[in-house]
Amino acid sequence: MPVPSPSPTAPRPKREFNQTLMSLAPSAIREFFDLVTESEGIVSLGVGEPDFVTPWDVREHAIYTLERGATSYTSNLGLLELRREIAKYLEERFDLVYDPRTEILVTVGVSQGLDIAMRALLNPGDQVIYHEPCYVAYRPMIALAGGDPVSITVRYEDNFRIDLEKLESLITPRTRALLVNYPCNPTGATFSAEECRRVADIAERHDLTIVSDEVYAEMTYDQPHIAMPTQPGARERTVLLNGFSKAFAMTGWRIGFAAGPADIVAAMTKVFQFAMLSAPIMSQNAAIEALRRRHKDVPEMIEIYNQRRRVIVEGMRAIGIDCHMPEGAFYAFPCIRKFGLSSKDFCVRLLKEEKVAVVPGSGFGGEGEGFIRCAYAAGFDEIEFAIRGMERMINRL
């Protein structure tokens, strides 16, 4: 006999949830996107997701392996063939040498790499210093792993560079790790060679682990990306997180990897083997193909992002919006302070009046209030539509 669902007016049992979870602010971005999904005919520069479909030969290879019956679990670390391809890629592309047997773990996106890195590294109360505005998951992931998130704010006036002296001054005996992301979501700022060297030097002097989220490593436009573990003293203390979502246009496959010293990878694998067992084999097979072809479409996609970057920044400047030139990733983070609206009000009006979705900067923490994040993972026509919409709205203010 089916059990009838309870009446909507029946009192609900009082439930308790994890207190850290309950203390976290809900994602302002989610809240905003609920509004976007309720609206129709929207041009969105909101989501940090490539507008390209995964290259066909990658999809085809995944279909082929599936047809041949590759539907099983894999080793916790991931298919050895994929780890070998990742090792080759890291060496050829970023001058990094990792042992595919012990130093690379295939994860379910960088998101999961971040989660298990925090869970493997932190004891209750350990501090992790990270820079804000930042990717929305950092503070929650640190906190949910029992850590104490400590943020340093980066500012538009400083071109979103991290004040490394200030960062060093935040270190206490409880500090366990530095979490960095470059090129950065949402600011588009990246690290120069000198900044990388200084971060590594600070970590070494204070015996800290670096968790380096380099998911946008392929997307640097003005200078080559410098991987953190290449810096003197950094390799033995860095967990490098990267993946396929952005540069390879593979967000939905949920596939990424962590590379680091064998003891850290072993600790992360221990969490992973209980939490996940293995990343989906179909996605691992797709990733093998993406790397085997070093995917030939990537440079072309990056060049298109580069052109869009100039179009969006120049377009905004031309209508009087202050915007720095992002050095990497696919986000512009213009300043809207002078229009006298909060970033949320600006975005809600833009959405309602002009059908353009961009994300309130307040959702990224730090001094994100007063900014909006515009992802240029959208076609030129859409970027143009968004800029004209902003222009009309600003003129009405």
Ligand X SMILES: Cc1ncc(COP(=O)(O)O)c(C=O)c1O
Instruction: Tell me if 256 contacts ligand X by CB under 6 A.
Output: yes
- List the beta strands (DSSP E) in the chain: 43-44, 104-107, 127-132, 148-153, 175-181, 209-213, 238-243, 256-259, 331-332, 356-357, 359-360, 372-375
φ, ψ at 149 (rounded to 5°): -75, 130
Please answer whether residues 206 and 175 qualify as being in contact, where contact means their C-beta atoms are separated by less than 8 angstroms.
yes
Q: Which of 185, 220, 238, 362 binds ligand X (CB under 6 A)?
A: 185
Which residues, numbered 100-119, are part of the site for ligand X (CB under 6 A)?
A: 109-111
Q: Which of 127, 190, 245, 278 binds ligand X (CB under 6 A)?
A: 245
Min dist CB 19 to ligand X, Å, is: 26
Min dist CB 185 to ligand X, Å, is: 3
Burial (0-12, 13-18, 19+ Cβ within 10 Å), 265: buried
- What is the spatial distance between Cα 253 and Cα 247, in angstroms, rounded to a whole number? 13
* Binding string, residues 263-302; x marks residues near ligand X by CB under 6 A: ----------------------------------------
* Binding string, residues 190-229; x marks residues near ligand X by CB under 6 A: -----------------------x-x--------------
Burial (0-12, 13-18, 19+ Cβ within 10 Å), 377: buried
Please answer whether residues 199 and 228 qualify as being in contact, where contact means their C-beta atoms are separated by less than 8 angstroms.
yes
**Between helices 380-396 and 343-354, what is the axis angle to 10°?**
110
Q: Which of 251, 262, 306, 325 binds ligand X (CB under 6 A)?
A: 251
Instruction: Tell me if 135 contacts ligand X by CB under 6 A.
Output: yes
Q: For residue 220, list its beta bridge partners.
A: 328
Given the complex with ligand X, which of 219 and 341 has the nearer CB atom? Answer: 219
Min dist CB 184 to ligand X, Å, is: 7
Given the complex with ligand X, which of 214 and 354 has the nearer CB atom? Answer: 214
Residues that bind ligand X in the complex, under the rule CB under 6 A? 48, 109-111, 135, 181, 185, 213, 215, 243, 245, 251, 256
